[in-house]
Amino acid sequence: MSKGRRWWFGLAGMLLAAISLGGSALPVQVGSEVAASAAAGLFDTYVAGLIRTMDVLALTEELRSGDWESMTSLLEAFQEESLPMATWFVEPDGGYSTVDGGRASANLADRPYFPIVMSGETAKGFLVVSRSTGRQSMVLAVPVLRDGEVIGALGVSVFLDSLSEAIAEDLSLPSDLAFVALTADREIALHSDPSLLLLTADEAAVSFEDAASQTSSLLDWTFWVARGN
């Protein structure tokens, strides 16, 4: 991952210094509280930055043209400088194209985020199995307007396993600690062990004994850090 794609993780080193340097002198709960706050902060910083960039792209003439060929080069560069994800543009009828695959045969009109973004609102945090890649993903989408009308939307499907691995790596948690992000429905959105993604906390037998938590400022996700989850 390039330096440009990892700038938002720089805070982790400062926040987690107490964990990595404090050794056994720090109670586990203190270390867990710092780590949970850091995990939520890393996630929020990344997502907020990604949405800001998407908002800027949505104002460009390339995207406001609604023409896929005109916007492809711009979106390719955007995708290259981000965490692993699929970048796409969806039209008002649900038809869409992706950077990696071009015009898709599927349709997004039945996705729960579709009516939100087509009404002119930003859609964020929707968990799906991507129709273009087959990977477990978090969808973010921003409307693209021309003359006050929504003519489509710019969307990304951020791969949950890659995002989980990036956060886990930058947290540098001790081997006996793990992090998990749960949705309001107790679905696992992110986890130190990506094999548990999109299971419920009960299905994955995730324990929160002696766990510390921090809620995301952007989504109704709660980040937990505890022993051996």
Domains of the chain: 69-160 (3.30.450.20)
- What is the pLDDT at residue 176? 78
pLDDT digits (tens, 9 = 90+) for 217-226: 999 999 998 7
pTM: 0.85
Residue 115's pLDDT band, with cuts at 50, 70 and 90, is very high
Listed in sequence order, the residues at least 6 apart from 14 whose beta carbon sits closer than 8 Å to its beta carbon are: none
pLDDT digits (tens, 9 = 90+) for 86-103: 999 999 999 999 999 999
- The CA–CA distances, whole Å, from 75 to 8, 80, 151, 156, 167 equal 21, 8, 17, 10, 24
- What is the pLDDT at residue 228? 60
Measured between alpha carbons, how far is 202 from 130 in angstroms, rounded to an integer? 24
Tell me: pLDDT of 83 over 90: no
Tell me how many degrees the CA angle 11-14-18 measures, rounded to the nearest 5: 140
| Exposure string for 152-182, b = 16+ CB within 10 A, e = fewer | bbbbbbbbbbbbbbbbbebbebeeebbbbbb
- What is the pLDDT at residue 64? 98
Higher per-residue confidence, 77 vs 210: 77
Mean pLDDT of 160-165: 95
Mean pLDDT of 72-87: 96
